[in-house]
């Protein structure tokens, strides 16, 4: 009976609304024993409860109260805000106690939300961009989409601060065999991005990032194609001339269905205006 219940839960389809999430599933999500299947489940998690279940009775139990206090100061407890707040609180304790072991504990956790805390902690460190990107790489290739999104969000500010260094490193990620890593290279440097600070330099001079984009112009992964297309669409809002020139060149040099799909997505805003 227990095995059948476990299989049912693991093979479930995500609920379409909060009220449709089964109680046993929600309980396991809050215990940190299973991953979320969609955004609805992520929003349903009580991260205060999850924090207690993950850290209570561990050597890091004393970190719980500080994080809960910080969460309760939030004006709105969105999933992203809670992840960021918990990470910031844990990071303060990590620095104070000079204890990095907790990051490894969180990074290996079964819960995607807990792994997201660890990813955000990496982004808070003051190390150089090359080192920081190397540390965030395991999260960039995580099997869970939510962890991958937090991964690029967590280092966005660092990328902006050292854009030249970031592009130098990420241009090598563009030729990585893992599509999640290739997608990270594009998504993390989008001029406008999603839920993130814009990169003014790339809005005005998108050509700076051509070393990242060029290897991806005919990527076989639709996940990567969507990101590159969105990158170009971002750039088209401030540098339509450059995007039009680039896509014309790609049409001639890369006559593939993959490139055509990227170009169509990249020109969608400009095509609406014409």
pLDDT tens digit sequence for 79-110 = 999 999 999 999 999 988 888 889 999 999 99
Predicted confidence (pLDDT) at residue 222 exceeds the cutoff of 70: yes
**Rounded CA gap, 191 and 98, in Å?**
36
Q: Is 166 exposed, middle or buried (0-12, 13-18, 19+ CB in 10 A)?
A: buried
DSSP state letter for 36? -
- Per-residue model confidence (pLDDT) at position 141: 97
Average pLDDT over residues 208-237: 98
- Per-residue model confidence (pLDDT) at position 19: 95
Torsion of CA 241, 243, 248, 249, to 10 degrees: 110
What is the residue whose two structure tokens read 């992520």? 42
Domains of the chain and CATH, by start: 163-274 (1.25.40.290)
Return all residues near 236 (Cβ < 8 A) that are at least 6 apart. 243, 244, 266, 267, 269, 270
Predicted confidence (pLDDT) at residue 167 exceeds the cutoff of 60: yes
Mean pLDDT of the chain: 94
Q: Which two tokens stand for residue 88?
A: 């910031």
Smallest CA-to-CA distance from 22 within 34, 1, 3, 110 is with 34
- Strands (E) located in 121-203: none
Smallest CA-to-CA distance from 113 within 89, 90, 143, 146 is with 146
Contacts of 139-142 with CB under 8 Å at 24 or more apart are 139/107, 139/115, 140/180, 140/181, 140/184, 141/178, 141/180, 141/181, 141/184, 142/112, 142/115, 142/180
- Per-residue model confidence (pLDDT) at position 188: 98
**Rounded CA gap, 29 and 142, in Å?**
18
Rounded to 10°, the helix 79-97/64-71 angle is 140
User: How far are the Cα atoms of 11, 202, 250 from residue 272, in angstroms, in the given order?
Assistant: 41, 23, 21
pLDDT tens digit sequence for 111-165 = 999 999 999 999 998 889 999 999 999 999 999 999 999 999 999 999 999 999 9
Smallest CA-to-CA distance from 100 within 71, 127, 129 is with 127
Average pLDDT over residues 51-74: 95
- Per-residue model confidence (pLDDT) at position 274: 67
Task: Answer for the pair 34, 25: CB distance below 8 angstroms, yes or no.
Answer: yes
Say which residue, 97 or 188, is predicted with more confidence.
188
**Rounded CA gap, 189 and 5, in Å?**
42
What does pTM read for this prediction?
0.93
């Amino acid at each position: 009976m227990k095995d059948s219940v476990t299989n049912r839960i693991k093979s479930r389809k995500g609920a379409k609304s909060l009220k449709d999430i089964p109680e046993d599933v929600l309980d396991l999500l809050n215990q940190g024993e299973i991953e979320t299947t969609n955004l609805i489940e992520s929003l349903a998690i009580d991260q205060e409860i999850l924090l207690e279940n993950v850290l209570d009775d561990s050597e890091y139990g004393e970190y719980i109260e500080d994080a809960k206090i910080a969460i309760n100061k939030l004006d709105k407890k969105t999933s992203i805000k809670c992840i960021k707040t918990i990470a910031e609180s844990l990071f303060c304790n990590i620095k104070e106690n000079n204890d990095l072991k907790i990051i490894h504990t969180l990074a290996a956790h079964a819960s995607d939300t807990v792994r997201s805390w660890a990813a955000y902690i990496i982004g808070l460190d003051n190390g150089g961009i090359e080192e920081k990107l190397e540390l965030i790489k395991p999260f960039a290739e995580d099997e869970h989409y939510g962890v991958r999104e937090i991964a690029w969000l967590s280092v966005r500010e660092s990328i902006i601060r050292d854009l030249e260094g970031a592009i130098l490193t990420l241009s090598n990620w563009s030729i990585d065999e893992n599509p999640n890593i290739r997608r990270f290279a594009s998504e993390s440097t989008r001029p406008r991005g999603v839920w993130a600070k814009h990169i003014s330099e790339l809005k005005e001079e998108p050509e700076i990032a051509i070393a990242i984009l060029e290897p991806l112009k005919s990527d076989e992964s639709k996940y990567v194609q969507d990101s590159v297309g969105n990158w170009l669409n971002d750039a088209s809002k401030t540098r339509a001339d450059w995007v039009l020139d680039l896509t014309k060149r790609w049409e001639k040099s890369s006559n593939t269905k993959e490139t055509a799909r990227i170009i169509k997505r990249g020109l969608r805003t400009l095509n609406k205006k014409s």
